[in-house]
Amino acid sequence: MASTLLGIDVGTTSVRALLVDTEGVVRGQASAPYPTLRPQPGWTEQEPEAWWQACRIAVRELKAQGLLKDVKGIGLTGQMHGSVFLDSRCKVLRPAILWNDQRTAAEVAEIEEHVGLRRLIALTGNRALTGFTAPKVLWLRHHEPAAFRRLCHLILPKDYLRLRLTGELAIDVADASGTLLFDVRARHWSAEIMRILELDETILPTALESPAVSGRVTADVAADLGLPKSIPVVAGAGDQAAGAVGVGAVSAGLVMVSLGTSGVVFTSVTSPAIERQARLHAFCHAVPGLWHVMGVTLAAGGSFAWLASTLGKKEKQLSDLAGSSPPGSNGLLFLPYLSGERTPHADPLARGAFVGLVDNHGPADMARAVMEGVAFSLRDCLELIRGLRLPVEEMRLIGGGARSPLWRQIVADGFGMPILGVETEEGPAYGAALLAGVGVGVWRDVPEACRATVRTAGRVEPQTSVMRLYEDLYGRYRDLYPKLESTFSALHDLAASAPPAEAQ
């Protein structure tokens, strides 16, 4: 068997291990799930130990298939922004607080007040958001002071696997960009932000470029997992930057659209491009010397999964049903703000809504309206990218939602652009494996790795008549949030003040 590269992805619901050979062919894959903890409304947490045990299960499954003998390198990726708090012995202090957790509104306001919004954007390329890491650290200081006093190391989800694999504490510059503690322009931690927030710089791990070797698998772990001894583990990248590598989005003008649990519109830039109001994220790319901008819809595929669960249907079944509703969903619009929103509305209190609902609407219309609403939300992200005068020449669609032919067509029609897929659509784990290949010398650099492995497929052309309809609907969609914003806030306050059900 040819030499292989192992990409490991700490996703929102499971760890995925993917073996890729030096031709870019997937040779094996395995995954293992873990639960999300929701101790209060709006809170999302996971146990880091659950990630590690899931990683062991997935990698051992590849071992059982006899696939690990020729692994030359490991790349790591995973959910961004999560906070893993460690003590002086690198033991976990509490469950990790995830990217979609919304508890830190007060800390977001505190950061923007203390740093100043303009200075914050200048230093980090971003404004403070509830999902980012820095507000979670302040929340720990305010609400769990005993744990905060013991805090010695702050890392992100994938970096916890690095710690368990190699014993090393490190992060990559792409993932570090999403902490709000990182100077994105200079590609290093921001001493000024740490000073203003009165945080000790020693809690931060070493920040490396994504293909850099961060450590080697220890002998004990290699024996436990069935890996060859001393395999290099590269720094890797957060899931969006790694996913972009996996689809070849490593040059200006090539836009990646991801339809996963969240939705992302992502494009590479040769210098930091910071939107005036920081409605787009400006991060370091996994490609050394490049940056990227991206907009995020928090509940993209998540909105569709919610509807399927609510209606008691499988997602594939609901997707097929949506095809029986015409473009425009018989006059029904959907706002996909089920988890608050990031782009273009940095509003944790935003709420989902069906607008235009009448008694002849059924599950098919609701399903298509969700697909169209998510496409319009992603269009919001694209319009901000265009507003920066960045080139938009080619668009590649990935993620679970991209497997739906109907959703692919809706995105093409909603964007008014052709959409391409890729032959091997394996997501962030694939990109992490390519980064490992660069780190161990299989390829000279990341663009070369992408040229050698990534091939496009499945072009979808927009339909002129539907484009015109969607252009009108998109304008009406954009009108809704400003009109409903105060109602969303009032509904949040009402829900927060409601007595427990048993007391009513």
Residues catalogued as catalytic: 239
Q: Do the Cβ atoms of 156 and 136 come closer than 8 Å?
A: no
Rounded to whole angstroms, the Cα distance separating 138 from 145 reads: 10
> What are the residues whose beta carbons fall under 8 Å from the beta carbon of 455, sequence distance 6 or more?
24, 422, 423, 424
Distance CA 71, CA 261 (A): 30
Beta 96-97 vs 45-46: how paired, if at all? Answer: antiparallel
Q: What is the DSSP letter of 381?
A: H
How far apart CA 494 and CA 496 sit, in angstroms, is 5
Report the distance separating Cα 75 and Cα 6, nearest Å. Answer: 6
Contact 342, 129 (CB under 8 A): yes
Cis peptide bond prior to 344, omega within 30° of 0: yes
35: DSSP letter: P
First-to-final CA distance of the chain: 65
Bond from prior residue into 326 cis (ω within 30 degrees of 0)? no
Distance CA 373, CA 19 (A): 35
Sign of CA dihedral 352, 356, 357, 363: negative
Compute how many other C-beta atoms are within 10 angstroms of the C-beta atom of residue 144: 15
Lookup: tokens for 163: 């710690």
Whether the CB-CB separation of 153 and 169 falls below 8 Å is answered with yes
Query: SS3 for 285-352, per residue?
Result: CCCCCCEEEEEEECCCHHHHHHHHHHHCCCHHHHHHHHCCCCCCCCCCEEECCECEECCCCCECCCCC
Listed in sequence order, the DSSP H helices in 356-427 are 363-387, 405-415
Main-chain phi, psi angles of 221, to 5 degrees: -70, -40
Q: What is the C-alpha separation between 319 and 364, in angstroms, rounded?
A: 8
Closest-CA residue to 102 (of 77, 74, 65, 139): 139
Q: Are strands 153-155 and 4-10 parallel, antiparallel or unpaired?
A: unpaired
Question: Reduced to 3 states, what is the DSSP secondary structure of residue 39?
Answer: coil
- What SS3 class is residue 130? coil
